[in-house]
Each structure stands twice: as C-alpha cells, then as structure tokens.
Amino acid sequence: MWPGLRCHPAIVNQSRTFAPSGPSFPFASIPPATYFGHATRPKFPAGKSTDCPVPYFDHNATAPLHPAARAAWLDAADRLWHNPSGLHAAATRALASLEDCRERLADLLGCDDPRRIVFTSGATAANNLLARHLARTAATDAVAILSPLEHPAVHAAFGTNFSGRVVESDVDRDGVVPVDVVNATQDACAGRPVACVSVMAAGNESGVLQPWQAIAAACRLRRIPYHTDATQWLGKLPASGLGGCDWVTGSGHKFGGPRGVGFLVVPAEATFFGDVGGPQESGRLAGTENLPGIAGMVAALEARDRDASATATRGAGSRDAAIDFLRRQLPAAVVVSGGADRLWNTLAILIPGADSRKMVAALDRAGIEASTGSACSSGTASAARVVAATAGWFSFPPESTFGMVRFSAGPETTAAEWIAAVGALVAFVSSDSKAPRVALG
C-alpha cells in the first residue's frame, strides 16, 4: 500500500479534522470539505469508514448543482411546465419567463439585444449549430481558423463541416494564442476567405486564458467573424464583455446549472437558423425549449457571476499555495501553462514517467476526485491538446512519456483541500519507482 491519504473516522463536522496517516504525508491535519454548507459527497472503498469526505476536483468536467439553480428549476417545473409556444394564458406565462431568462443572460454577457441568444441543449450542440451554419453560408473555399487547444466539440464540428479547410494557429510555450499570431494565420491563408476564427476564452485542460477581447477586436477590424467557446470562463470569471464577440457558446452544467442546457450567441445581423420543424427561438432552432433547465442555468450564472472577482482572487491564492508546495516536494513536476494567466480553479500537472490512469486511480483511493487525459507522450496525437501544442517549446528527451493530472476546484474548495489533493499526488508519485523525483535536465 502506497503511503498517502487514508479515510479517518474523525471527519464529521467542521470542528473535527482530517488526519491523514503515513510517514511520507507532508502535513498534519486538513479540515473537511464543505459545499453549500454540508460535507462533500462521501465515497468509500469497501470496508472503509463512511466518515471520509471526497474533495471534488473535477469542476471543469461538471459542477454540482447550485442551490439557486435547483430552486429555479423546481419553481419553473412546478409553475411553468406549459409549452411556451402555446396560445393559452399559462403558455403565455411560460413564454414570458423564457424571455425574462433571455434578457437576464443578455445582461450578464453584455449583449445589447437579447434576441441574439439562442437556447440550446448544451455547448456541444451550440458549437455544432455554429459550424453547420457557417459552412452553409460561407464561400465554398472558405477556411475556419481554430486554435489547437479547442475542445473536441469545436474541433470535430468544424472538422466535419469544413473538411480539409480547417487551419490551426500557433501558440506560445504556455498555450496562449497571441493576437499577432491570429493575424499572421489569416494572412497565410493566401487570399482565401475566412469563415470564422475560433479561440476559446479559457482552456478546459490547463485553464490557460486567451486574449479573447483583443482577438475579437482584431477580427472586427478585418471584418472576420470571431467565435469564442466560453464554457470554462463562465461562472469562474466575470461574464461581462463576452457579448462583444460575434459568436459565443456556453453550457450550464459547468458552473452549477442543470445538465442538458446551454446557449449560442449569434451576431445581431446574422440570418441564423439551426434545426427546422418548429417556430421556437424566433424560428432559429426548432424544438420545445427546456424552460426549467434554462431558468436554472441563468440563476446559477447570476449567483456565480455576482462574486466572480472575489472568488477568483481567493481561489488563485489557494491554488498557487498548492503549486508552491508541489514544486518543493516534487521538482520534476511540470505545471502546464504555468507561465500564463490561468483560471483560478485549474491546475494541470505533468509527471515524467508516470501513468495518468494510475495516478487518478490512486487519488480516487485516497479520497480525491480528479481527472486526466490519456497518458501523454510529448508531441504525439495521444497527448492532451495543450501538451501536444506546446511540446515543441520544451527540451524533453526523445520518446519521453508523461502522466497528466488535472485538478479543477470550485468556489467552495478550501486551501487545505488543495494541499490535500496535491499532497496525495506527491505521496503516490514518491512511492512509484518509475517516476523521477528531481527536475529533468
């Protein structure tokens, strides 16, 4: 058994502490995690104590339902369950609530015209709608310029609809797409029309922040449509200003809204239509709107956006303290995008010689829920996108392999939980003879 976290029966409330055992564990005690006033969801190996909490570090995959979202969902499902497209009074009330949600979301994003917002079943659906629309309306030889870090929902959607016409921009050593690189990529298209430039607002893997405001302005000067997938930005940093982009996609469950609901922001002047077969969304997307889900999504974003700046400051401090601890204990570890501004909640770590799945499994046994890409081999297609895109900047030995772990916290994650998570990783890697403990080269 590797030395690391063990479930301890002392954890039942805030006045009691989590006391990990094992000679290599680097700290004395950790207060239990709390989310919305109660202990994190318990999960235990067979035969282990049921008092052991599970710090949740996979918010970039999905976030727990925010109480405001739950309340809004239940209220809409109870009072406003009617079809907003109906003609009777109850349906009219549902439609009024739907439009109120649209206006509130527009205010959060800074959209002057709420009609720019099309509600969808999520960001994947929105990205596919966008790519199909652009392919249908752009010139047949038009290209789409994407960053190499885009989520598969963007890459696959554009790859399918712009087959052979997707151009990837370069990035710097931290995975940032500078504005001059975007301009140079456009210039390199040799006169071919550009249907769209798509650069995400914040990375899902390393949390790297892109200069989306500057890219939007540069594209506007060249009259080239700009899309940003804001899925990871929303709920973590202030949403204001995103409405200045031509196209924006987002998903509710990433910031505490219900699953199965998202949105697409379209240009005010665009003649956009997606799926056909009904008059919903002003004739732009057929299908009865998920009003309870929409209400929950907007309520969650309002709640998270209200304290976004303060949460970011506090969260970054906790994450950075964990990084300092990591570097002292495991100099070989590489913080992905470590030299760039990143989401306060995200920490992606490369461990030379380690196995990603084994690390995540070990963390899970230690009571830490985290995530990873597949085991990374620098510069290969199997690597996480941000690792593959930035590998050329580093002097890694040929054929070097890496394991990657991503921790992504929530607003309620404590500094002690950050140290617990990184400490559990250090404990496992220190017990793994294949993983080096000193910095490479």
What pLDDT shows up at residue 265? 98
Q: What is the DSSP letter of 336?
A: T
In this structure, are 272 and 315 located in the same domain?
no
Alpha helices in 138-259 (DSSP H): 152-161, 179-187, 212-221
Q: Where a domain ends, among 271, 306, 341?
A: 306
Single residue among 283, 306, 329 that ends a domain in this structure: 306
Q: Is residue 259 part of a domain?
A: yes
pLDDT at 327 (0 to 100): 96
Flag whether 227 is in a domain: yes
Residues 340 and 406 in one domain: yes
Looking at the fold, whether 127 and 194 belong to one and the same domain comes out as yes
Domain co-membership, 90 together with 166 = yes
The domain boundary residue, chosen from 279, 306, 333: 306
Per the CB < 8 A criterion, the answer to whether 285 and 102 are in contact is no
Q: Are residues 91 and 214 in the same domain?
A: yes
Supply the range of the domain harboring residue 394: 34-54+307-431
pLDDT given for residue 270 in this prediction:
87
Same domain, 281 and 153: yes
Does one domain contain both 242 and 377?
Answer: no
Indicate the pairing of strand 334-335 with strand 34-35. Answer: unpaired
- Provide the pLDDT for residue 374: 35
HSE at residue 167, side-chain half, CA atoms within 13 A, is 22
| Calculated CA dihedral for residues 107, 111, 112, 118, nearest 10 degrees | -100
Q: Is 22 within the bounds of a domain?
A: no
Q: How far is 309 from 256, CA to CA, in rounded Å?
A: 17
Catalytic sites, residue numbers: 376
User: Rounded to whole angstroms, what are the CA distances from 45 to 3, 7, 52, 70, 367?
Assistant: 16, 9, 10, 30, 9
- Looking at the fold, whether 311 and 253 belong to one and the same domain comes out as no
Residues of the chain with pLDDT under 70: 1-54, 373-383, 391-399, 433-441
Q: Which of 348, 440, 368, 353 is nearest to 402 (CA)?
A: 353
Whether residues 154 and 174 share a domain: the answer is yes
Q: What is the pLDDT of residues 147-175, one digit of tens each?
A: 999 999 999 999 999 999 999 999 999 99
Q: For residue 147, is it within any domain?
A: yes
Q: Evaluate whether residue 437 is within a structural domain.
A: no
Output the domain CATH number for residue 186.
3.40.640.10
Q: How far apart are CA 87 and CA 90, in angstroms?
A: 8
Which residues, 6 or more positions from 250, have their beta carbon under 8 angstroms from its beta carbon? 123, 126, 229, 230, 231, 234, 262, 263
Give a yes or no: residue 392 inside a domain: yes
> Within 10 Å of residue 221's Cβ, how many Cβ atoms?
8
Query: What is the pLDDT at residue 44?
Result: 30
How many domains does the structure of the chain reveal? Answer: 2
In a domain, 7, yes or no: no
Cβ neighbors of 164 (< 8 A, separation 6 or more) are none
- Residue owning tokens 């617990």: 420
